[in-house]
Amino acid sequence: MTSAAEYDATLRERFPDLAVAATDELDMPTIVVPGERIVAVLEFLRDEFGFTMLMDLSACDWLGREPRYHVNYHLYSMDSNLRVRVKVQLPDVPEPHVPSAVPAFAAADWHEREVFDFFGIVFDGHPNLARILMPDEWIGHPLRKDYPVGGVPVEYRIEPAYVGENVVPRDTRQGGVPVRLRSDRGRLSHMTWTGPPASGVPVHKPTEPEEISEEGKDS
Amino acid sequence: MTQTEQEIREVWVEDETMRVNMGPQHPSTHGVLRLRVEVDGEVVVNVEPHVGYLHTGIEKQAETLNWIQCVTDVTRADYLSNFFNELAYCTAVEQLAGVEIPPRAQWIRILLCEFNRITSHLVWLATGGLELGALSMATYAFREREQILDLYQAITGVRMNHGYFRPGGVSMDIRPDHCKQIRDLLDVLPKRFREYEEFLSNNPIWVRRNRNVGVLKAEDAIKLGVTGPTLRACGIPHDLRKVSDYLPYDKFEFDVPIGEVGDCYDRFLVRMRELFESLRIIEQAIDGMPSGEFRAAGKLVPPPRNRLPVSMEAVIHHFKLYTDGPHVPAGEVYVAVESPRGELGYFVASDGRGRPWRVHIRAPSFVNLQVAPLVAPGYLLADLIAILASIDPVMGDVDR
């Protein structure tokens, strides 16, 4: 059982109501399965063909194509040293749903959490579908193609007293990063730097304590 | 004692299990791994790994770099086995582009990968020893690792994060003086490794800390997708070098060491023997190193330096390659290689342009770490350290 035609024939026989399509790809046969019956297909492949290991579960965002999200299950059979890719294609909706593969393969647990974390694909029936690599309170799903690179606000602040009267409003064009953060090298390095500040940076003047709290509000 | 006090005692003190946070800044959690451990006295009831503290967005970053630059990005994922990351990525790109690399490049890749397996296992030996109280192991193992890192520096220019394997071959050829350096190492290393094996494998403290601790059954390992030495310690002789053809390992003679029980001690023995098997492969690789080109011809690799002053076409090729990147045909490919921790898989998708559309890393540490909640309950809290050390997760690999 190596070629895609055989998977195709067997799966069509077993799941006559399912639109299954298997093709030989560059590296391994690829079976495209509708999402709702993925667990049954995975269990069938595991029991009939001996694909006992779920090696990898990942997703790919083909923004601009329809269906947009591809979830790839890479199965491996240790006995026959064969691999097969099962692919579920999901439409371009804010929260695509696919049944969790954990009942068929325990290994899917963390992989599905990772895909949820990075792509926002919800695996129904997963025992603990929480973010795994990004912080829990993170907004957005970073590996989606419409998530920008470098669009994350800088998470540190300068001492309000140190900014002095030089607080600049946020520049929205820069993805929410305050402009002053880009030009205050000289001030940030006040612990070690004893020379003149970087060009354009006014020399720091100590401010009164009550003024500090005033400026702390809008910085 | 009042009624309420007694109730409190019964509910909160007598049956209480305690939740302990191990990490993320803990010397024995192998980097920034945080474990939420539920303990009943000294006995572990439940372990919940929390990962992601070292997440650096390597997969996202890869989408912004061109196919050649990407090597320097993915090599940072598992920072202890850089060559394997480069190997898996480059093999995937070569498969997409339909490029066959010349034998010399294959041999150089095998040579460096096996050295990398040794350095990676040496770090495991050093830190594992450190965590279980064999402190001198850390100094010894790092000493040998330093020597091999010096070799990397001579060959690739840097000690870690090399960017040396490129799609289509390697970036520079190895020279005769490198071969001499390797032979000098081959004289020293087996002796040292035997010393370490004697030092630990019959050490009563080491044996008692590791024997019958963290026993992983073979069927559980398969269910969880565990690979590498952790799987082989369960008695399953699965090694991608034997069954896969990403590099011509079939021309080399080596054994796949396996364990019997699947406990920490077996994992220790398997890795220890793999050190010797890797040395065997290196010896054969250096003896049978073929001559010839170290990278394939074609659009994936830069033109030879001496063509640049004389050929306009070579200049254009060079310029296009380093600005736009090589254009790799559209497609998806999954390539798996046997890294020191197990199956390292790269799923690479191309849309036919100069940058990868998607690079997904199937990290062996990420998958193997799922074993900890399964095997640790029932053992002592101190054994959890031994279990973690024997799984050998690298957090750069887990979090990517």
- Would the CB atoms of A107 and B370 count as touching at under 8 Å? yes
What pLDDT is stored for residue B108 in this prediction? 92
pLDDT in tens, B245-256: 888 999 999 999
Instruction: Say how many C-beta atoms besides its own lie within 10 A of residue A192's C-beta.
Output: 5
- Residue numbers in A near B64 (CB within 8 A): 149
Q: What value does the mean pLDDT of chain A take?
A: 72
Q: What angle do CA A10, A15, A21 make, to 5 degrees?
A: 65
Q: pLDDT exceeding 70 applies to what percent of chain A? A: 66
What pLDDT is stored for residue A170 in this prediction? 44
Which letter does DSSP use for residue A66 in this model? Answer: S
C-alpha–C-alpha distance, residues A205 and A185, integer Å: 16
| Residue A190 predicted with pLDDT over 60 | no
What pLDDT is stored for residue B8 in this prediction? 60
- Would the CB atoms of A133 and B333 count as touching at under 8 Å? no
- Would the CB atoms of B222 and A81 count as touching at under 8 Å? no
What pLDDT is stored for residue A189 in this prediction? 33
| Residue B321 predicted with pLDDT over 70 | yes
Question: Is A104 in contact with A51 (CB distance < 8 Å)?
Answer: no
pLDDT in tens, A34-86: 888 889 889 988 888 889 999 999 999 888 788 889 999 999 998 888 899 99
* Coil vs helix vs strand at A108: helix
C-alpha–C-alpha distance, residues A58 and B232, integer Å: 25
What pLDDT is stored for residue A188 in this prediction? 36
- Which of B331, B370, B399 lies nearest to residue A133, judging by beta carbons? B399
C-alpha–C-alpha distance, residues B361 and B358, integer Å: 10
Q: How far is A59 from chain B (nearest CA, A)?
A: 8
Cβ–Cβ contact B338 with A under 8 A: no
Give the contacts of A117 (CB within 8 A, at least 6 positions apart): A131, A132, A133, A134, A141
What pLDDT is stored for residue A98 in this prediction? 92
| Residue B304 predicted with pLDDT over 60 | yes
Count of H-run helices and E-run strands, chain B? 17, 8
Please choose, from the candidates A76, A172, A80, A57, the residue with its C-alpha nearest in 3D space to the C-alpha of residue B370. A57
Backbone angles phi, psi at B312, to 5 degrees: -65, -40
What pLDDT is stored for residue B115 in this prediction? 92
ipTM for the complex shown: 0.86
| Residue A213 predicted with pLDDT over 60 | no
Cβ–Cβ contact B235 with A under 8 A: no
- Would the CB atoms of B51 and A142 count as touching at under 8 Å? no
**Which one of A24, A76, A138, A141 makes the best mutation probe of the B interface by having the most chain B beta carbons within 10 Å?**
A76
Residue bearing the bigger pLDDT, A184 or A208: A208
Set out the domains of chain A in order of their start, with CATH numbers: 4-124 (3.30.460.80), 149-212 (no CATH)
- Would the CB atoms of A55 and B345 count as touching at under 8 Å? yes
Going by their DSSP bridges, the two strands B342-350 and B331-339 should be labelled as antiparallel
Going by their DSSP bridges, the two strands A122-124 and A97-99 should be labelled as parallel
Question: Is B112 in contact with B155 (CB distance < 8 Å)?
Answer: yes
Dihedral sign of CA atoms B29, B35, B40, B41 in order: positive
Going by their DSSP bridges, the two strands B18-22 and A122-124 should be labelled as unpaired
pLDDT in tens, B12-28: 555 678 888 887 777 66
Cβ–Cβ contact B53 with A under 8 A: no
What pLDDT is stored for residue B278 in this prediction? 92
C-alpha–C-alpha distance, residues A35 and A99, integer Å: 7
pLDDT in tens, A130-171: 888 888 777 778 888 777 665 455 555 554 444 444 444 444
C-alpha–C-alpha distance, residues A8 and A13, integer Å: 9
User: Which of these ranges, A204-208, B31-35, B102-106, B214-218, has the smallest mean pLDDT?
Assistant: A204-208
* pLDDT, mean of residues B350-356: 85
Query: B337 falls in which pLDDT band (50, 70, 90)?
Result: very high
Give me A52's structure tokens.
């006992």
Residue bearing the bigger pLDDT, B341 or A4: B341
Question: Is B365 in contact with B77 (CB distance < 8 Å)?
Answer: no
* pLDDT, mean of residues B347-373: 89
Query: B10 falls in which pLDDT band (50, 70, 90)?
Result: low
Backbone angles phi, psi at A182, to 5 degrees: -80, -20
* pLDDT, mean of residues B101-128: 91
Q: pLDDT exceeding 90 applies to what percent of chain B? A: 27
